[in-house]
Amino acid sequence: MTDLKISSKNNKINLSEVAKAAGVSKMTASRVLREEGGYSEKTRVKVMAEVERLGYLPNRIATVFAGDKNTTFVGVSIPDLGNEVFTHVLEGIDRKLVSFNHQTVLGMTQHALAEEETWIETVLSWKPAGLILTGRAHTPKAVQLLQSANVPLVEIWDLNSSPIDMCVGLNHFDSGYDMGRFLLSKGYTRFGYVGTSHDAANAATSRLNGYAKAIEDGGGKLSKQLCLNDIPGFYPGFYGTEQLLSSDPDVEVIFFQNDNMAVGAVHFCQAQHISIPGDIGIAGWGELPIASVLPYRLTTVQVNHLRIGQLAAENLLLKISGDQATPVSDVGFRLVTGETV
């Protein structure tokens, strides 16, 4: 009566065991477990009782295999967990996925396209329900893998008018351009930029390019731009500012890759008794949590990171279930004029 192990070597209970114990066929037990209908209430009760008693855990690998289906995994690649903006995006994604019974398989690509390619190949071999990739740049082989895998895919972060499948993000170039134009309107003429290193296809580079273009269009001068080999965090903002100002003391305003770097800059200036915005203007990007406790409103660009994640997951789930999904979603941005320029 209480013999838990019945036959298989490693005492794992499978459907056959449950069916046998309940005195029905494998198929009937299968139907009950999938709540497919087509069985009597008496049968259902019998089967479920055995499931409970034996502690049966379905083997989803077998289910996927048998049905030639996909798993409920969604591969999500982000460049870096140390960069706060991406953790917010990831949170938005995972929350949404979980509420629709899907699971996030994490991929940290470390900003390297080659890493991404390897990861894509691995994840695809596990038959994921879908993929969410950060960034629009991929290796040719990765693109080919994605296309032939024919799995729902959302490229997030930077907007892309012709995505491989779908795309959710914002126009980073424009956000940089708007910031540049705004700073010009405040009367600045010598501009600086501090970010972290990245390849040319990067969204932060698009922001820098937009910023540079606005400055050029407005007759200003982008006199110094710095790309540190670091994550875009508080301390890199601190020492990046030091570096930039020591190599070009005439810069009047600095645009940072994100708010955390800008806050690092604010602290550097405080330590050096450089007044903001009197001596120098500071602008961030992304409206990160730290901005909420500063004594003055940081000039920045507000972006709804969580929303990007949610929308990406939503569209992906629509496509997974065979519904119509939006190919390109622009979540937009909003310039926060602030008090630091």
- Binding residues for DNA, rule: CB under 7 A, are 8, 12, 14-16, 23-28, 30-31, 33-34, 37-40, 42-43, 58-59, 62-63, 65-68
**Contact by Cβ (8 Å): 269, 205:** no
Q: Choosing among its own copies, DNA, none, which partner's interface includes residue 45 (Cβ < 5 to 8 Å by kind)?
A: none
Q: Which residues are paired to 224 by β-bridges?
A: 192
> Minimum Å distance from CB 123 to DNA?
16
Q: Does an H or E element contain 283, and which?
A: strand 281-283
Q: Which does 290 bind (CB under 5 to 8 A by kind): its own copies, DNA, none?
A: its own copies
* Binding pattern for the stretch 188-207 against its own copies, x by CB under 8 A and - elsewhere: --------------------
Distance CA 132, CA 156 (A): 7
Q: Binding string to its own copies for residues 120 to 159, with x set by CB under 8 A, is what?
A: -xxxxxxx----------------xx--xxx---------
Which span sits near its own copies by CB under 8 A: 98-106, 132-140, 207-215, 251-259? 98-106
Burial 145-168 (b: 16+ CB within 10 A, else e): bbeebebbbbbbbbbbeebbbbbb
Which regions of 116-247 does DSSP assign to beta strands (E)?
130-134, 153-158, 166-170, 190-196, 221-228
State how far the Cα of 160 lies from the Cα of 286, in Å rounded to an integer: 19
Tokens of 192: 């600086």
Q: Which residues bind its own copies (CB under 8 A)?
A: 10, 55, 57-62, 64-65, 71, 73, 76, 81-82, 84, 87-88, 90-91, 94-95, 98, 101, 103-108, 119, 121-127, 144-145, 148-150, 233-235, 237-238, 260, 263-264, 267-268, 270-271, 289-290, 292-295
